């Protein structure tokens, strides 16, 4: 049987179908968001269901469900929380795609204040000012915490945790050799030289698994060499990133890598995975590890295996421009209410409950060694059975931020373009492919582009 369908007919049909598909894709990409949201209701009377997407995985998941889902549903029996778990590292991408298509969860999780600006500008998030005022959220959070969730003066997100960078060290090794914990550049460099002479790598480090480890070093140098004051001025546009203080900070860290004080060398830094870092520190092959509040679970596990002890100390003051002790504020996760949500009052009730039920939060922290929300914490909030290192860590962070002794982490306070530049180009500096001057010039250019696009997040002023 001969077919009457010619190649021309086939191509015409396919072209029409493709055009229809393209029109459908284009038309459906941005749903109408011009509707004015209803006024905030009473969260105590909220009911219904709320959809939450979470990337909590492994052993933490059961604790999350116990203390962040079941405990809430017990307090609010009229509200059901539907949790959908997404792979770590893909949650943000999936959320972004879903929100752009008019779908997604009711509770929107972002990786920090720097990311909510895009959602807020695209009118995908519900302003939270009414809920904050009705429920006294400013009293329940640390003074700077509510400000961190604002975009152009409007509150859009609440921080779900807070974290900082410190130096973890092998306490057993230090006590055996009588090494002091350094507080300034001279004592730090003396210690590094002494450790290296003893065949011990001064700093365990590596970005083989997570390239963004490099931005921790950028954060450290900007805040503890150039100083938090100058960093604040650069973030707010009052100073250029090409200032000699920032150029010299990159030069200093490059020198530390060249000497082999970090990871034993540049190439080893690029190939070292997290497990090797923890093992090196726990076994005394490395003396120190510069990292953040999220490391407690891993360090507990590895030091339990090695039978040695660990501690932490604040990052030393590397120049006269910095202060000591100073803790760089990081926010790893924020929560917002989707403008598409059918139950914004239900989500607000969940956020409010998180701030009020401190017991559930601290039980989750105790179970998982995770970071708590940035609420006013005291020694009474930490049960005796909790990891004392973690307790002292967050108490020190709260105390320092209350006194205005804090700096700014790149993943929280940098806009996306400049942030990406720091992550990628730091590696070029330590590989001798880029000079510190070129890094600073490129950083300034990237930051200026982001500033022109209105992407710089709200920078918290450093006041006591």
Residues at the interface with another protein (CB under 8 A):
1-5, 13-14, 17-22, 24-26, 29-30, 92-93, 96-97, 99-100, 118-119, 121-124, 207-208, 211, 266-273, 276, 416-417, 420, 424-425, 427-428, 431, 433-434
Question: In DSSP terms, which residues pair with 82 in a beta bridge?
Answer: 51
- Please identify, using beta-carbon distances, which residue of 18 and 133 lies nearer to another protein: 18
Confirm if 118 and 455 have CB atoms less than 8 A apart: yes
Contact partners, residue 239, CB within 8 Å, separation at least 6: 230, 233
Question: What does the alpha-carbon distance between residue 141 and residue 355 come to, in Å, rounded to a whole number?
Answer: 8
Sheet order of strands, 310-313 included: 201-203, 286-292, 165-170, 310-313
- Please identify, using beta-carbon distances, which residue of 301 and 433 lies nearer to another protein: 433
Confirm if 258 and 287 have CB atoms less than 8 A apart: no
- Please identify, using beta-carbon distances, which residue of 171 and 268 lies nearer to another protein: 268
**Smallest separation, CB 273 to another protein (Å):** 7
Question: What does the alpha-carbon distance between residue 288 and residue 341 come to, in Å, rounded to a whole number?
Answer: 46
Side-chain-facing half-sphere of 382: CA atoms under 13 Å: 21
- Please identify, using beta-carbon distances, which residue of 292 and 415 lies nearer to another protein: 415
**Smallest separation, CB 8 to another protein (Å):** 13
- Please identify, using beta-carbon distances, which residue of 239 and 268 lies nearer to another protein: 268
**Smallest separation, CB 158 to another protein (Å):** 20
- Please identify, using beta-carbon distances, which residue of 23 and 59 lies nearer to another protein: 23
**Smallest separation, CB 265 to another protein (Å):** 9
Burial of 271: CB neighbours in 10 Å, binned 0-12, 13-18, 19+: exposed
Write out the two tokens for 111. Answer: 């990786």
**Smallest separation, CB 418 to another protein (Å):** 10
**Smallest separation, CB 463 to another protein (Å):** 31
- Please identify, using beta-carbon distances, which residue of 14 and 236 lies nearer to another protein: 14
- Please identify, using beta-carbon distances, which residue of 151 and 397 lies nearer to another protein: 151
Question: What does the alpha-carbon distance between residue 229 and residue 242 come to, in Å, rounded to a whole number?
Answer: 15
Question: In DSSP terms, which residues pair with 159 in a beta bridge?
Answer: 334
**Smallest separation, CB 252 to another protein (Å):** 19
Write out the two tokens for 239. Answer: 């100073």
Dihedral angle sign, alpha carbons of residues 185, 188, 191, 192: negative
**Smallest separation, CB 15 to another protein (Å):** 9
Distance from the Cα of residue 260 to its chain's centroid: 28
């Amino acid at each position: 049987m001969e077919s009457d369908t010619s190649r021309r007919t086939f191509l015409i049909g396919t072209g029409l179908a493709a055009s229809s598909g393209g029109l459908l894709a284009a038309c459906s990409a941005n749903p109408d968001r011009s509707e004015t949201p209803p006024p905030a209701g009473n969260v105590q009377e909220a009911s219904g269901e709320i959809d939450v997407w979470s990337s909590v995985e492994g052993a933490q998941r059961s604790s999350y469900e116990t203390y962040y889902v079941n405990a809430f549903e017990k307090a609010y029996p009229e509200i059901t929380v539907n949790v959908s778990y997404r792979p770590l590292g893909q949650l943000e991408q999936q959320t972004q795609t879903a929100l752009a298509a008019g779908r997604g969860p009711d509770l929107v999780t972002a990786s920090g204040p720097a990311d909510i600006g895009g959602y807020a500008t695209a009118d995908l998030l519900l302003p939270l000012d009414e809920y904050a005022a009705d429920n006294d959220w400013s009293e329940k959070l640390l003074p700077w915490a509510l400000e961190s969730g604002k975009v152009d003066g409007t509150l859009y997100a609440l921080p779900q945790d807070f974290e900082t960078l410190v130096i973890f060290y092998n306490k057993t090794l230090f006590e055996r050799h009588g090494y002091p914990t350094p507080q300034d550049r001279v004592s730090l460099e003396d210690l590094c030289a002494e450790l290296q002479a003893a065949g011990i790598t001064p700093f365990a480090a590596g970005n083989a698994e997570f390239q963004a480890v490099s931005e921790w070093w950028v954060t450290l140098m900007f805040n503890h060499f150039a100083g938090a004051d100058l960093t604040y001025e650069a973030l707010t546009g009052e100073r250029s990133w090409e200032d000699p203080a920032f150029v010299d900070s990159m030069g200093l860290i490059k020198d530390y890598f060249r000497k082999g004080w970090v990871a034993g060398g540049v190439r080893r830094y690029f190939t070292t995975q997290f497990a090797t870092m923890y093992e090196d520190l726990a076994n005394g092959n490395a003396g120190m590890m510069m990292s953040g509040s999220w490391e407690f679970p891993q360090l507990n596990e590895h030091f339990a295996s090695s039978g040695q002890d660990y501690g932490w100390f604040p990052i030393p003051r590397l120049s006269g421009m910095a202060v000591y002790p100073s803790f760089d504020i990081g926010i790893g996760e924020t929560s917002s209410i989707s403008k598409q949500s059918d139950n914004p009052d239900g989500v607000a009730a969940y956020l409010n409950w998180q701030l009020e039920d401190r017991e559930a939060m601290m039980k989750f922290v105790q179970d998982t060694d995770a970071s708590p929300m940035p609420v006013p914490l005291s020694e009474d909030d930490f049960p005796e059975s909790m990891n004392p290192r973690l307790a002292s860590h967050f108490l020190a962070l709260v105390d320092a931020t209350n006194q205005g002794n804090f700096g700014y982490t790149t993943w929280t306070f940098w806009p996306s373009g400049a942030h990406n530049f720091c992550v990628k180009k730091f590696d070029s500096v330590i590989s001798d492919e880029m000079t510190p001057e070129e890094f600073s010039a490129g950083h300034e250019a990237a930051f200026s582009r982001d500033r022109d696009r209105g992407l710089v997040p709200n920078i918290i002023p450093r006041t006591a």
